[in-house]
Amino acid sequence: MTQADLYTLLPLIVLVIWACALLLVDLLIPRGRKGITAFLAALGLALTLGLTLAQVSAAGTAFQGMVVLDGFARFVNALLALTGLLGVGLAYGYVRRMGIERGEYYTLLLFSVAGMMLMAQAADLIVVFLALELLSIPLYILAAFARPKETSEEAGLKYFLLGAFATGFVVYGIALTFGATGTTSLSGIIAAASNGDAGLLLTIGAALILVGFGFKVAVVPFHMWTPDVYQGAPSAVTAFMAAGAKIAGFAALLRVFGLAFSSLSADLTAILWTLSALTMIVGNILAIAQTNIKRLLAYSSIAHAGYILMAFVPFGNAEVLPVSVAAGVFYLVAYTLTNFGAWAVVIALEKAEGRGLDLDDYAGLGRKYPALAAAMTVFMLSLTGVPPTLGLVGKFYLFRAVIAGGFYGLAVIGVLTSLISAYYYLRVVVIMYMREGEPERVSEPWLNLTWAASALAVVLISLVPAPLFAWASQAVFALF
């Protein structure tokens, strides 16, 4: 182990040590003042973010090729640290209000972010598997954090059982891949696959891994758990889970499929095409019938998994792949900002005992709280893909990449399902402005900052998206 090895994983190591230390420090913080723990957790994440951004010069593999540091990992890690920060910001007031303020919340959140970051850096299937578990297990517990509330316990248990099931698929897939190629390292798999001595076993292994990740990022037909878990889990957890698990899952999918399994594109392109189309169609159509805002956003997150999956469809085409993956990464940024903003508004209006979560509770918001309603309008427009929002820019890049890859049908499905989604997103806007009502909102500094800053970012970045897209492209080109 050299210094270079440690330097490659420096942000992650700092984060894990910080989380362990936080667990101990939390014992000294008296109950009722757990805001200090939240502040310390945020400090740790900010430090991680700073270290990640400072790793500019370093690149290469470490620990015998088990982890890798490149532009892509740096970009995704920065996004994940930001996700963690936003997650802490949303939780700060929410957990106190809901009576679930405990120091473990923040420790588990930090562990989960560590797992996600490891996922983005993993270059060996063993590490991919461990990272997947490290990100999932804290999320299972966070989903059940409001115990003994029944919906929260149900969410945690459901997520745990289906997540364990999905992990089984991943492990079996890894085992078959190992059987086919004799190695778990991604570069070794590439070498073995290009020799042509892998064959059917490798394809089955890759397909099983795809199923496992499909569960994690909620792709149809592996999405069944999503609405119940998103609805039952505390809203601040859902916001963090919806963004973080998706970013990490797609980052790993990209590395594993874009690199290691690129020789399998002939077999897998059609499967990815179908999964992406199905996810967009089913997610958007089921969202129409929802009357609960948390369920609506859950189906919306399923639909968006479909859009992001579009970026992977041209993965056999070496020319289009970098552009389409850059588009996918850009879309992840757009989705993260919009998602956190929308959930911040939901949290601002949520009351104890799960009230204030129906769409009807948003009636009259436009008149009583114009700024909050305007921010929610921005998020709904961004999720639909209407200018001037980041969602539109993200979708534009995605559709352009898919068309460049020659998948016109998928682009058409993407546009049509976006039109369908306009119905239920704009319904929220209509209810906010056109109906009479007396909503009550909660005003907390960090919460207000989250939705206001997200709304501003979603609009402003959409006006000048080129620098961010250039950064994403640069990150991805470093990968190929």
Partner 1 sequence: MTPLQLVFLLTAALTLVAAFRVVTTRNLVHAALWLVVTLFGVAVLFVLLNAPFLAVVQVVVYIGAIAVLFIFAIMLTRREMRDQGAQLNKGWWAAALVSLLTFGGLFWLTRSWDGFTRTAAPLPTGQDTLSALGKALVSPDAFVLPFEIASVLLLAALVGAVYVAYREK
Residues in touch with partner 1 (CB under 8 A)? 1, 5, 16, 20, 23, 63-64, 66-67, 102, 104, 107-108, 111-112, 114-115, 118, 126-127, 130-131, 133-134, 137-138, 140-141, 144-145, 147, 156
Nearest approach, Cβ of 108 to partner 1 (angstroms)?
Answer: 6
Nearest approach, Cβ of 19 to partner 1 (angstroms)?
Answer: 8
Nearest approach, Cβ of 126 to partner 1 (angstroms)?
Answer: 5
- Given the complex with partner 1, which of 108 and 455 has the nearer CB atom? 108
* Cα–Cα distance, 68 to 46 (Å, whole number): 22
Angle between helices 125-143 and 150-181 (to 10 degrees): 170
- Given the complex with partner 1, which of 6 and 270 has the nearer CB atom? 6
Nearest approach, Cβ of 161 to partner 1 (angstroms)?
Answer: 14
What tokens were used for 305? Answer: 């998994």
Q: Which is nearest to 37 in space by CA: 132, 98, 97, 108?
A: 108
Q: Which amino acid is at 343?
A: W
- Given the complex with partner 1, which of 111 and 362 has the nearer CB atom? 111
- Given the complex with partner 1, which of 131 and 293 has the nearer CB atom? 131
Q: Which is nearest to 13 in space by CA: 117, 146, 141, 132?
A: 117
- CB-based contact 86:340 (threshold 8 Å): yes
- Given the complex with partner 1, which of 107 and 339 has the nearer CB atom? 107
Cis peptide before 387 (omega within 30 of 0): no
What tokens were used for 227? Answer: 């609405």
Nearest approach, Cβ of 104 to partner 1 (angstroms)?
Answer: 5
Nearest approach, Cβ of 233 to partner 1 (angstroms)?
Answer: 14
Q: Residue 1: helix, strand or coil by DSSP?
A: coil
Q: Which is nearest to 308 in space by CA: 244, 223, 219?
A: 219
- CB-based contact 312:257 (threshold 8 Å): yes
Q: What residues are paired with 69 via a beta bridge? A: 60
- Given the complex with partner 1, which of 102 and 368 has the nearer CB atom? 102
Side-chain half-sphere CA neighbours of 123 within 13 A: 20
Nearest approach, Cβ of 109 to partner 1 (angstroms)?
Answer: 11
Nearest approach, Cβ of 117 to partner 1 (angstroms)?
Answer: 12
Helices (H), 311-389: 321-349, 365-368, 370-384
- Given the complex with partner 1, which of 114 and 233 has the nearer CB atom? 114
Q: Residue 222: helix, strand or coil by DSSP?
A: coil
* C-alpha 373 chain-centroid distance: 25
Q: Phi/psi at 439 (nearest 5 deg)?
A: -75, 155
Q: What residues are paired with 68 via a beta bridge? A: 61
- Given the complex with partner 1, which of 51 and 365 has the nearer CB atom? 51
- Given the complex with partner 1, which of 112 and 181 has the nearer CB atom? 112
Angle between helices 10-28 and 103-121 (to 10 degrees): 170
